[in-house]
Structure 1
């Protein structure tokens, strides 16, 4: 998160009242969640019972894409539009909740799903908290 924080601190304009700490945390959490979901989906593909994990794999892929996009959008500030940011954060929160809910159903049997569910819950919370702090 050091580079994320450093980049936010060097931004030449005002960030529009965004809480820099929450913003940095949310960006980092989004990218971490995207990586975790990608790895979980891949691990699901390696399981012997792959046919039973189809929904989990799809949810992982969707969540990873949405988290990556959210992290990228949150990293850009020129021409900032709070309405777009709110919408993206809500989409990410919803995707993370859905992925965590799905992974939790397999967490007893697959450790990668347990880890993924935890990452998704952290990201869900970070998105909710940042959205709540928007003016």
Structure 2
């Protein structure tokens, strides 16, 4: 049986993984200083997505409250990552866009 919010939870989990991967890859870039904003947004996005997923999965009354903030941080991360040509940034941007849309639809 699939939980009613399984699509949302999957989008959140995929975004966490993409953001964590992107931040780690950015830290290995030759010009890491140019990636500081990207790394910071990746970390913030991964954290808010993980927290939102946990609260929604357990049916917390507070999970719904985080959806708007989660969507906003996903949007900012998408905008930043989509500016970089690296594959990890492009994959992260796509995951963030999907997660933003899923959060906005559920909010």
Q: Could you tell me which of 86, 100, 120 is aligned with 2:64?
A: 86
Q: How does 1:1-135 map to 2 (within 5 A)?
A: 5=2, 8=3, 20=4, 23-77=5-59, 80-81=60-61, 84-106=62-84, 108=85, 110-131=86-107
Gaps of at least 5 residues in structure 2 are: none
Q: Deviations over 1:8-50 (max 9, x none)?
A: 3xxxxxxxxxxx1xx1111111011001100000000011010
Q: 2:20·2:43 contact (CA, 8 Å) conserved in 1?
A: yes
TM-score, structure 2 normalization: 0.94
| Larger Cα-atom Rg | 1
Give the Cα–Cα distance (whole angstroms) in 2 for the partners of residues 31 and 102 of structure 1. 20
1:59 Cα deviation from its structure 2 partner: 0.4
Partner SS state of residue 30, structure 2: coil
1:117 Cα deviation from its structure 2 partner: 0.2
TM-score, structure 1 normalization: 0.75
Q: 2:12·2:99 contact (CA, 8 Å) conserved in 1?
A: yes
